[in-house]
Structure 1
Amino acid sequence: MRPNLLLKMFTIAGLMLVLVVPLLMIQGKISDRSAEALHVKHQISRQISGEQQISGPLIVTPRIREQLVEKRDCHSGETCTAIEQRRVLDSQVPDLLSINGDLQSEMRYRGIYGVPVYRSVLHIEAMFPANWKAVSEPEQVVASQPPLLLLRIEDLRGLVERPQILVNEVRVPLIEAELLPEGVGSNAVAVALPDNLNGAFTVKVRLNLNGTESLGALPLAKETRMTLRSDWPHPSFEGLVSPVEREINNEGFTSQWRTNNLAAASVIHCAQGGAVCRNHGQALQVRLVQPVTGLLSSERALKYSFLIVGLTFAAFFLFEVLRRHPLHAMQYLLVGLALAMFYLLLVALSEHIDFMLAYLVAAVSCCMLIGIYLMAVMGSFKTGWTFALSLLLVQGLIYGILMAEDYALLLGALLLFAALTVVMTVTRKLDWYAFADPAKTATNAGFNAARSQESSGANAG
């Protein structure tokens, strides 16, 4: 391969590296706008409440137990065991936990960014067994306090009103937060169980709870059932298990969960040990997901920027090869900057209008600019606008790849394969050495012209 052809190829590669700078600047702008959207989410969460997770109700009994512990301050200097008295919270989970709730959702905005919030009314019912007063390892118990019925809520700021807790259909007053025993956590709501309560009993709780984006409940029972209804049409079911039944349409969703203590053994063991369990992965949870935002779609589109720039530069290079029409490096660069401007327009427009319309406006605008420019550069209306329309077609194909998330890799690979096929087809008979050597090109051109004249003379004779 001759040096001048290599120089041209290295120049094109260098121009693509130069275009990394504006494309990275656009990527930085997307990151800044995403950070601003996240900041707005945190602002709204602070004013309304955060993501909510409910734990309980549980029976919690503060006790002092004698326990064997390992110590290193023995006289021999080695590890030994000793008996110490420690404060613990013994917990008892219900046999059956039933949660029934309705969520009313809306979007809360700060400027152009928003986050889904909800107001929920939850009815919780728990059935405790007759042996709830039984004490495990009673020989270790030194002292006990009266048992409490405890309910934990992730963010207490979301409570619109004080929870209503009924034990055997009798409303029980809440214990004030400063009177709660140490270790129950700062997000606990509790009542004292009646002194005359014996045998199996039922607890009913009514919560009027606000939250942001997600709502979940830990399945702290031998059997847990949860039913949620909402007017949000884009739910994402997360956590321990998926709903056994769900119905989703444009007017909202209805979902039902069923699980048991075998599936939720780890979180129940944590709760029975007195720990404050906040493992979101073990909850029955729904998230109010926003449809793909303009920023996210723009970021995905930017990943294909070098593919579009590479295909455009390859088309220019083939034009030089096949038409013998040299293009200056500055002309490559200006077209590349116009393609980079497409992504900046896309980011700016998608914050205010639908992403599909923003993509169409940005693509048509930049392709028209490139078409008008190339019409003058190449001295041909047809050639300039053929390039522009071809580029618009490629942009349309990229949009199709963006929309087909599950098939993005397949469609992208097919597009690259098609581009390589076109290049190899149109250059299969090209003499690259002749193109690279101007002297040889001129000699071949004169030779071909002479042969053409001889052939014409022979035909005339």
Structure 2
Amino acid sequence: MENQTPSQNPNSVSKFSFFQSNTAKMIMVGILSLFLLIPLNLVQSLIRERSQRKNEVTKEITQLWGNDILFYGPILKVPYKTYSETAVVDDKTKVTTIQKQAHLEYAYFFPSELNNKTNIEKVDQLKRSLYNPIVFKANIKFNGTFQDVSFDKISVNEEDVLWDKATILIKTTNLKSIKSDLKININTNDYSLESKSDEDNYFGTLETNSFVYKSNEKLTFSFEMNYNGSNSLQFIPVGKTTTTSIDANWDSPSFIGNFAASDTTKKVTTKNFHADWKILHINRPFSQQYTEKIPNLKGYSYGVKLIEPVDEYQQNERASKYGFLVIGLTFLIFFLIQTISKKSIHIFQYTMIGLALIMFYTLLISITEHSSFTIAYIIASSAVIIMLLLYSFSVLKEKKFPFFISISLLILYSFIFVIIQLENYALLVGSIGLFFILGAVMYFSRKIDWNTN
């Protein structure tokens, strides 16, 4: 019997032919694409780590400079007496006597009218390393009146009200960042505001010394406060009629809280914004006066939050989420060119191409931290496209296909950049784009004989 050499063995030839087939090459390229998800995931972890570092630095700076501001007041605080009776039995005589004991309680009254005008100035000199947190200086001017202050609704005798011990309270979350000498003008007289201990663990309390107030007397007030703050400024509408006007040199405000700014006067430009509020007591679910304790009102605030229009780390994270799409489509382009042109591209060369595509994201995040996202995207994508163009010249040994690859990558990166910039229409544009990409792949692959090696 004649012996067969390995090269003459039909089974060996069949196995060798399979590994040279289009099916085997597609499987290997697919496995490589999945394998490249590992370094792509590491890049995404790097982006999240850098974003977390930014948040830590921002938090550190804002704690030193001043946190978010939530303000409400002024509040008229009037003490009054209540009485309790206790039966006391004498041990010797067994005679019962009733002892009457006085207790001091407090009533809190909100203003009839409260107006404030606020000016916010963005501060830029607190940049630390690569990070520039949103911090500001706020000048807030208040004026208003207290009217019809009485104890009729709580059934307290007039002689039990200590009108000569009345004080004014102001509550705020950011006592440490107040930068002005605090005085309040009450009926043409100035009174100093001092920090007081309070059971409230959320708000800090400022209170005047006592002054003489008469029942149903109209009390006018005005005061001004200067703050260092960060991120947001909010108020609670304690006035029976509350009006607020805010101006700021910031182009990206987010109007937050339970009450909307007036659409007729609200104005946002590329350099600043203006907003007004007018809130009536019937618009809010709390009363004008309280006894014993004021309830938690922080859920009824309104105001503005200064936001970054586009966070560079969020843009980088969104870009990295399209990484698998870029790798898959690029490999598909090379695979179709390899199949059509009968050029051989080794799996190692596919690996180098995939790593070059992943390097795009490390370049993008590192350049973004020193520049804008747009500039970083142009530089990083241009570098990767040029690298793959030169590499394609070496691999494919001709000019037509490398230029086609470069144009395809340019279109792909441009398409992803547009999707990242869009918000409301990102899904729509992305779906339409992918539909056309699928159509292009079907068109160019329609005449390929997949049964040939």
Q: Please give the TM-score of this superposition, normalised by the length of structure 2.
A: 0.83
Shift of 1:225: 0.6
1:46 aligns with 2:63: yes
How far 1:350 moved relative to its partner? 0.6
2:269 corresponds to which residue?
249
Could you tell me which residue of structure 2 aligns to residue 149 of structure 1? Answer: 168
Structure 1 stretch 245-254 or stretch 355-364: which is displaced more? 245-254
* Per-residue Cα deviation, 1:381-432 (whole angstroms, up to 9, x for no partner): 2212321221122111111121222211111111110111012122234332
Task: Kindly indicate whether residue 388 of structure 2 is the aligned counterpart of residue 379 of structure 1.
Answer: no
Whether 1:19 aligns to 2:39 is: no
For residues 201 and 422 of structure 2, the distance between their equivalents in structure 1, rounded to whole angstroms, comes to: 48
TM-fit CA distance, 1:269: 8.9
Q: Deviations over 1:158-215 (max 9, x none)?
A: 11123221112211233452xx565597611111452243322122121111111211
Measured after TM superposition, the shift of residue 278 of structure 1 is 2.8
Question: What does residue 311 of structure 2 align with?
Answer: 293
How many residue pairs align between the two structures?
412
> Residue 185 of structure 1 contacts residue 276 of structure 1 at CA under 8 Å; is this kept in 2?
no
Q: What secondary structure, in the 3-state scheme, does the structure 2 residue paired with 1:114 have?
A: coil
Task: Please state how far the C-alpha of 1:296 moved relative to its aligned partner.
Answer: 2.1
1:57-456 map, 5 Å: 57-61=74-78, 90-107=107-124, 108-134=126-152, 136=154, 138=156, 146-177=165-196, 180=197, 182=199, 187-198=204-215, 199-244=217-262, 245-265=265-285, 273-279=293-299, 282-432=300-450, 434-435=451-452, 438=453
Tell me how far apart the structure 1 counterparts of residues 338 and 168 of structure 2 sit (CA, whole Å). Answer: 81
Contact 1:267 1:277 (8 Å CA) reproduced: no
One-letter identity of the residue aligned with 2:311: T
- CA distance in 1 between partners of 2:67 and 2:314 (Å): 23
Q: Distance in 2 between matches of 1:34 and 1:326?
A: 42
| 3-state DSSP of counterpart to 2:254 | strand
d(CA) in 1 for partners of 2:446, 2:258:
58
SS in 2 for 1:162: coil
Distance across 2 between alignment mates of 1:172 and 1:123: 16
Equivalent position SS for 2:339: helix
The CA distance in 2 between the partners of 1:190 and 1:265, in whole Å, is: 26
Matched-pair contact (CA < 8 Å) for 1:148–1:192: yes
Cα deviation digits, residues 319-348 of structure 1 (max 9, x gap): 233223332222222111111100110000
Identity of aligned residues (%): 25
CA RMSD of aligned residues (A): 2.9
Change (3 A) 1:32 1:183: closer
- Aligned position for 2:45: 28
Distance change in 2, residues 1:417/1:96 (3 Å): same
Structure 2 CA distance for aligned equivalents of residues 97 and 271 of structure 1: 21
1:365: Cα distance to partner?
0.4
Distance across 2 between alignment mates of 1:226 and 1:338: 55
CA gap of 1:401–1:176, structure 2 versus 1, over 3 A, is: closer
Contact 1:220/1:264, CA 8 A, preserved across alignment: no
Contact kept, 8 Å, 2:106 with 2:291, in 1: the verdict is: no
Please report how far the alpha carbon of residue 87 of structure 1 lies from its aligned counterpart in structure 2 after TM superposition. 8.8
User: Which ranges in structure 2 are unaligned for 5 or more consecutive residues?
Assistant: 1-17, 85-101
Name the structure 2 match of 1:78: none
Task: Please list every run of 5 or more consecutive structure 1 residues that lacks an aligned counterpart in the other structure.
Answer: 68-84, 439-461
- State the alpha-carbon separation in 2 of the partners of residues 176 and 157 from structure 1: 10
1:376 Cα deviation (Å)?
0.9
Q: 1:387 to 1:131 in 2, by over 3 A?
A: same
8 Å CA contact retained: 2:71, 2:235: yes
Q: Do the aligned partners of residues 185 and 354 (structure 1) sit closer, same or farther apart at CA in structure 2, a change above 3 Å counting?
A: closer
Normalised to the residue count of structure 1, the TM-score between the two structures is: 0.81
